[in-house]
Amino acid sequence: MMKSPASLTIHEAAAALRAKTLSSVELTKAVFERIRAVEPQVHAYLHLTEEDALAQAAASDRRRAAEESRGPLDGVPIALKDNLCTRGVPTTCASKILERFVPPYDATVVTRLRAAGAVITGKTNLDEFAFGSSTENSAFGPSRNPWDLDRVPGGSSGGSAAAVAADEAIAALGSDTGGSIRQPAALCGLAGLKPTYGRVSRYGLIAFASSLDQIGPLAKDVEDCAILEEAIEGWDAADSTSVRLEGPSVTQASAGDIQGLRIGIAKEWLGTGLDPEVRAAVDGARVPLEKLGCTFREISLPLQDYALPIYYLVAPAEASSNLARFDGVKYGRREDGANIVEMYKKSRSAGFGPETKRRIILGTYVLSAGYYDAYYLKALKARTRLRQDYLDALKECDALLSPATPTPAFRIGEKADDPLQMYLSDIYTVSVNLVGLPALVVPCGFSAAGLPIGMQLIGRAFDDATLLRVGARYQNVTDWHRRKPPLPDSGEGGV
Amino acid sequence: MALTRRDVEAVAHLARLSLTEAELERYGAQLEAILGYVESLNRLPLEGVEPTTHLSPATDRARPDRPAPGLTQAEVEALAPEFRAGSVRVPKILEE
């Protein structure tokens, strides 16, 4: 049987579109056929925009016929995490409080994707407000891991990861506050990039923790991550934390070899709690990287064990503050109350799910008078020391290599009743957000049970390109990223 | 760190949430477990360390003061739970 165009990467699709062996309408139809076949099992999407997607695809084909094509994303179907605002298209954050919210504007990344000619397939599932590591906190039911439908795809961008892994989109955007792009990418066998804080505008991303949030790509390979980052990044007047980027473009800068690069591995990363199969897979990645000219050195990050405690003070504190805006006044769910405070309380209590309430309560507690110094301020000071550790390590190393997650994908329901156990699945990813650096997850093996394993490369601030270069060269000589999940079609002729 | 039921209730009020009995109990226990976990930060020497609140190297710069369109009244009305006579309506704010 011929390979479905839905299984292509961005750069493969772009080549076929350029060669006119494939049209965007054909590609988009193939993606929606695939969605119809597997979505009942995977539940990656909350909302599909098929009609608009086919219109965008037809417009892309017309541009190409007129030789006015806009580059590698023109005509390529991309999925968006449902916390990115889309004009005229529901944006729910997987929360009942925003169930009927239809934004009157596009997020900057969406504007930029549209300008690049991308075809938007729909909005993907997530943990409510991006609070979680499994999509089990979605108010609209969990997504499933295409590699094993009884397991989670990771989270919070689990819908985006499941969609790309199941070929229900060519690539997707997610957001990453403590690992929400990288952990699901690892659990679904994808490449996922958390750009340096400040590289991508967050305008129109429904805020979780503003000093940590960053939007980035989940894709079938590293080259696609570079294409997507280049399309969405750069200064934006609407986000005061976004930065004017200088120098060569990401795709140019990630093209060279990696001869002589020094890569650090922290001894603190390989301690108890790390699954032996994950350890072996990450260790195994050193061999091809050494053949490509990289050298490895052991480093120390003494504050590693404090990263998760710092994160679970800083992130809920910022979240409780950001989520104060959901009050039932101007938009979103409102429940009637005799006075305004009762209206606030009823609307918020009916609209937020359990994990969201838990984080709001935790965040409100650590910011409240009498506890601010004991918890929040202490965490901010520890964050300074954690950051110094990383900056010191990256003086003698060009990049750092760690596991992406302590274990492969866990079972649905396995950690749902134990928030602390769930939080531990982010142990390798949260530091990167706290210190504002870029990090890339790349598939580096499979468990005996056939589940994907990912490694994480961490780089210097604004040097995302070095990570993409290492990841792309690694993928030139390995084929973990080419494997496809053994997903049965649920449509006619399927199981 | 022992959390009383009243502590959780007080925090829920600050966060404008009303919790059921079951929620009060569950969140109280979970909050206590999480706060116990983060206690490890007390072992870190942090005297004289400056807090980190943000990480972007971007600095504020003035933009040209040009008028630009905002949301239309129709767009605001479409989003509002209750809208009458050109205004978003809310329940009583001041007690009599």
A81 is catalytic: yes
Domain membership of residue A307 (yes or no) is: no
- Are residues A134 and A152 in contact, defined by beta-carbon separation less than 8 angstroms? yes
* Tens digits of residue pLDDT in A68-123: 999 999 999 999 999 999 999 999 999 999 999 999 999 999 999 999 999 999 99
State which residues form the domain around A285.
5-301+387-487
Which residues 290-309 of A have a C-beta within 8 angstroms of B?
303, 305-306, 308-309
Q: For chain B, give percent helix, strand, coil, nearest 5.
A: 40, 5, 55
Continuous segment of H or E residues that includes residue A47: strand A45-48
Catalytic choice (A69, A138, A180, A254) = A180
Can you name the residues that pair with A262 across neighbouring β-strands?
A295
Q: What is the mean pLDDT of residues A411-415?
A: 94
Q: What is the mean pLDDT of residues A169-183?
A: 98
Which of A276-280, A289-293, A297-301, B50-54 is predicted with the least confidence, judged by mean pLDDT? B50-54
Q: What is the mean pLDDT of residues A347-351?
A: 98
DSSP B86: T
Nearest-by-CA chain B residue for A379? B41
pLDDT at A420 (0 to 100): 81
Does B81 contact A334 at a Cβ distance shorter than 8 Å? yes
Give the residue from A46, A136, A133 showing the smallest Cα distance to A429.
Answer: A133
CA A343 from chain center: how many Å?
A: 34
Nearest-by-CA chain B residue for A329? B90
The CA distance from B49 to A451, in Å, is 43
Domain membership of residue A353 (yes or no) is: no
Q: What is the mean pLDDT of residues A447-471?
A: 98
Nearest-by-CA chain B residue for A242? B58
Torsional sign, CA B22, B24, B28, B30:
positive
Q: What is the mean pLDDT of residues B35-60?
A: 91
Domain membership of residue A382 (yes or no) is: no
A321 touches chain B (CB under 8 A): no
Candidates B19, B42, B79; nearest CB to A330: B79
Question: Which of the two residues, A325 and A1, has the higher pLDDT score?
Answer: A325
Domain membership of residue A347 (yes or no) is: no
Q: What is the mean pLDDT of residues B12-30?
A: 94
What CATH number does residue A165 fall under?
Answer: 3.90.1300.10
A156 is catalytic: yes
| Nearest-5° Cα angle at A475, A163 to A197 | 65
The ipTM (two decimal places) reads: 0.95
The CA distance from A345 to A366, in Å, is 20
Structurally, chain A folds into a number of domains equal to 1
Domain membership of residue A366 (yes or no) is: no
Nearest-by-CA chain B residue for A380? B51
3 state DSSP class of A275: coil
Domain membership of residue A255 (yes or no) is: yes
The CA distance from A357 to A468, in Å, is 37
Structure tokens at A288: 């091809």
CB neighbourhood size of A59 (10 A): 16
Does A381 contact B51 at a Cβ distance shorter than 8 Å? yes
- Determine the residue among A327, A371, A381 to mutate to test chain B binding: the one whose Cβ has the most chain B Cβ atoms within 10 Å: A381
Domain membership of residue A330 (yes or no) is: no
Instruction: Using the predicted structure, report yes or no on whether residue A369 has a pLDDT greater than 90.
Output: no
Does A384 contact B51 at a Cβ distance shorter than 8 Å? yes
Phi/psi at A389 (5° precision):
-55, -45
Structure tokens at A139: 């108010």
Q: What is the mean pLDDT of chain A?
A: 96
Burial A17-38 (b: 16+ CB within 10 A, else e): beeeebbbbbbbbbbbebbebb
Instruction: Using the predicted structure, report yes or no on whether residue B73 has a pLDDT greater than 50.
Output: yes
Contacts of A339 in chain B (CB under 8 A): 91-93, 95
pLDDT at A2 (0 to 100): 61
* Tens digits of residue pLDDT in A25-60: 999 999 999 999 999 999 999 999 999 999 999 999
Q: What is the mean pLDDT of residues A306-313?
A: 96
Q: What is the mean pLDDT of residues B11-30?
A: 94
CA A32 from chain center: how many Å?
A: 22
Distances (CA, A) of B60 to A212, A318, A421, B56: 19, 21, 40, 11
Domain membership of residue A288 (yes or no) is: yes
Q: What is the interface size between A and B, counted as CB pairs within 8 Å?
A: 158
Instruction: Using the predicted structure, report yes or no on whether residue A298 has a pLDDT greater than 70.
Output: yes
